[in-house]
Amino acid sequence: VSYFFISIFSLLFAMSQLKKHILNLLLCLEALVLLLFAMLVIKLSSGLYLSLILLCIGACEASIGLGSLISSVRMSGSDYMFV
């Protein structure tokens, strides 16, 4: 089993365990996108265009996540998710 797959599964497990804090979920999601980017660069050395698109999508996802976190904190006063 590859190091990348172990890292992906551990990040997905961490995301399933950290359901209360939005900031922890966003950090795990960013680590997952960065890991996928590293996997694309290492495994597909000719797929630079695809990895650049993934990096742009990751940056957009981070900005949307940060904006929603800020609006949630302004509304409720904390970053807890009440499930």
Q: How far apart are CA 10 and CA 4, in angstroms?
A: 10
State the pLDDT confidence band at 7, using cuts at 50, 70 and 90.
confident
Q: Model pTM?
A: 0.73
Encode pLDDT of 20-78 as tens digits: 777 888 888 888 888 888 887 887 776 778 878 888 888 898 899 889 888 888 888 87
3-class SS of residue 33: helix
